[in-house]
Amino acid sequence: MGVHTGTPHRSPEGYVGVDVHRAARIAACGHGGQVVVSSATAGLLEALGSETPALSLSSLGAHRLKDFDEPVSLYQLGEGTFPPLKTIANTNLPTPASSFLGREAHLLEAGDMLRKARFLTVAGTGGQGKTRFALELAHRTREERFSDYPDGVFACFLAPVRDPALVLTTLARTLSIAEQPGMTVQEALVAHLEGKRLLLMLDNLEHLLACAHELAELVALCPGVTLLVTSRELVNVEGERVYELPPLDEEEGVALFCERAHVEPSVTIGELCARLEGLPLAIELAAARLRLLSPEQLLASPSGSTS
């Protein structure tokens, strides 16, 4: 159910108008058994001063509704736990084309660290699968701990950026923050993020570490913001916690290869994945070559498979 307080207009077809439309959009973003109310309705309920649990409100953060340009603050009436609201702009996380396999224990460990940190770096060598791992962690965090980040979970991909001075500008564009006359990019970011609770994933930061102090300042100035960073090198800022992403174990490596190549496990495939040292990228490249070579031929090649 969606509840909004406003002014409807009566027509031969019934009640119409912007506020009726807004109420319909609010209802559409909720889930079965959930009551979602607008800030206008929430203000009236709070004015009642009731301590009845049935009238208790919890903030669901700012969301964009279809057909409305400006974000709106939404609240849940009463108790209950529900999935994230079905709105259009409290995340930009891409949906990967392939499934995520293995690393369940690693996700639990990193997720526990993310609960306690506001600057978590997922570190590892190239081909270790840091981006895919961080995306899966961000997706699961949004689904399982939505109330911790009601204002959104966003990803900012920095591989194309070459100048550290442009990191904050790229982040501002990702969050659709327009330039503000008389304000620096950092000031505009702080003005937008102040008072909000978000998780921001910054991918491939290793070549832009000169911006580290600006990111540390952003976290310090915006207490509700948490950064999830992927990097081949440590960022080395105050408060940073590091999760060293290990390679896939033998079972996970074989499962990944077989799923991508659509084959059954074998001793040869196990030896091939071991030679590739459990690196997800190398394993996926090898699986793609199975259309041309057999596992035995891949294992016999000088590189193990990927050249």
Name beta bridge partners: 72: 63
Question: What is the number of domains present in the chain?
Answer: 3
Query: Do 115 and 240 belong to one domain?
Result: yes
In the predicted model, is pLDDT for residue 305 greater than 50? no
Rounded Cα–Cα distance for residues 163 and 186 (Å):
16
What is the residue range of 157's domain? 104-244
For residue 298, what is the DSSP state? H
Q: What is the pLDDT of residues 63-97, one digit of tens each?
A: 777 777 667 788 888 877 777 777 655 778 887 77
Shared domain for 19 and 131, answered yes or no, is no
**28 with 136, same domain?**
no
- The verdict on 71 and 136 lying in the same domain is no
Assigned domain for 91 exists:
no
Coil, helix or strand at residue 271: helix
Name which of 149, 180, 125, 193 is nearest 61 in CA terms.
Answer: 149
Residue 86 lies in a domain: no
Both 43 and 124 in a single domain?
no
Q: Distance from CA of residue 174 to its chain's centroid?
A: 13
Do 131 and 228 lie in one domain? The reply is: yes
Residue 169 maps to a domain = yes
The pLDDT of residue 31 is: 85
What's the rounded Cα separation, in Å, for the pair 20 and 18?
5
Per residue in 22-63, pLDDT tens?
Answer: 898 888 888 888 899 998 888 888 777 655 555 778 888 777
Question: Is 277 exposed, middle or buried, given 0-12, 13-18 or 19+ CB atoms closer than 10 A?
Answer: middle
Give the span between the Cα atoms of 167 and 173, in whole angstroms: 10
pLDDT digits (tens, 9 = 90+) for 181-211: 889 999 999 999 988 899 999 999 999 999 9
The two three-digit tokens of residue 244, written as one number:
């060293």
